[in-house]
Amino acid sequence: MTVINRHNYESYFLLWVDGELSDEEQVTLDRFVAENPDLAEELSLLKSTQLQPAAHLSSKRYGGQRGQLQPALLHRPPAL
pLDDT at residue 6 in the model:
94
> Residue 50 in contact with residue 17, Cβ under 8 Å?
yes
pLDDT at residue 61 in the model:
54
Task: Calculate what percentage of the chain has a pLDDT beyond 70.
Answer: 62
Buried b / exposed e over 18-33, threshold 16 CB at 10 Å, is: eeebeeebeebbeebb
pTM of structure: 0.60
The chain-wide mean pLDDT, for the chain, equals 79
pLDDT in tens, 46-66: 888 776 666 665 555 555 555
pLDDT at 70 over 70: no
